[in-house]
């Protein structure tokens, strides 16, 4: 990944000042891990990941690991394990953004109680009409309840909207409208473009290329959405949370 980034003349985010440069228009990439299975039983591996440049850590994914429960299988830990809780504290200490995507509701609640920095939910959507459960069809089980989304935002966090066609609709405009709806529910400071778009598969994703996000912005501009609101949803919200996570923690 680092070789590819260098070939594309991009930069890697390591510090809050790198985020600031990105906001001025200097392209940067945030190195992230989807599911911290590499930790296994050795929390020291998190420091190794940090030294390699990782600045965003998603705790769980679709495979059981030592950190906690995830949404699409029957829970077995009641949320996070003790190791999972200690990993959040270590992320705070090192300066790694905690990503709660795929976590169960119990794990989200516990993580927010522990973390001294805001967290993100990098991808899926918010549902106001159902309580996600592991026995549901996978994409519904993977949604975030409105209650949990608001809990994330109360701590200054941000929720990202994925581009799953079955959920958000079949057009770029539908995606833009869904993100706007989430902003009404959670506030303009608390939602953002989601990650994992090119991991959903071309048949499942209404947006499978990140360059297409430009069309979302252009749609909002045609609809005369306030420029400040567009900037928040497109980059500033995530940048703010990332900068906070990378910065020094209070003792």
Q: pLDDT tens for residues 102-158?
A: 999 999 999 999 999 999 999 999 999 889 999 999 999 999 999 999 999 999 999
Rg (CA), the chain: 17
Check residue 249 and give its pLDDT.
58
Give CA separation, 158 vs 72, 81, 188, 221, in Å.
Answer: 22, 24, 10, 22
**Can you list the domains of the chain with their CATH numbers?**
2-246 (3.20.20.140)
Closest CA to 134 of 104, 109, 173, 92: 104
Average of per-residue pLDDT across 80-88? 97
The 10s digit of each residue's pLDDT in 11-37 is: 999 999 999 999 999 999 999 999 999
Q: Specify the pLDDT at position 202.
A: 80
């Amino acid at each position: 990944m680092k070789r590819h980034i260098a070939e594309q003349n991009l930069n890697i985010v390591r510090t809050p000042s790198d985020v600031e440069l990105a906001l001025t228009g200097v392209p940067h990439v945030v190195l992230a891990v989807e599911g911290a299975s590499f930790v296994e039983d050795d929390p020291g591996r998190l420091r190794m990941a940090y030294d390699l440049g990782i600045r965003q850590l998603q705790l769980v994914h679709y495979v059981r690991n030592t950190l906690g429960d995830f949404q699409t299988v029957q829970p077995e830990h009641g949320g996070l394990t003790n190791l999972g809780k200690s990993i959040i504290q270590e992320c705070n200490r090192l300066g790694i953004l905690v990503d709660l995507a795929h976590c169960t509701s119990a794990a989200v609640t516990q993580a927010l109680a522990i973390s001294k920095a805001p967290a993100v939910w990098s991808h899926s959507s918010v549902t106001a009409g159902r309580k996600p459960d592991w026995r549901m069809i996978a994409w519904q089980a993977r949604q975030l309840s409105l209650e949990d989304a608001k809990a994330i935002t109360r701590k200054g966090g941000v929720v990202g909207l994925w581009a799953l066609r079955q959920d958000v609709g079949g057009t770029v405009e539908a995606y833009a409208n869904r993100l706007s709806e989430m902003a009404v529910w959670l506030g303009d400071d608390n939602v953002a473009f989601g990650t994992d778009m090119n991991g959903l598969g071309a048949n499942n994703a209404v947006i499978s290329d990140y360059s297409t996000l430009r069309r979302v912005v252009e749609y909002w501009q045609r609809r005369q959405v306030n420029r400040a609101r567009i900037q928040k949803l497109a980059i500033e919200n995530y940048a703010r949370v990332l900068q906070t996570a990378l910065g020094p923690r209070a003792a």
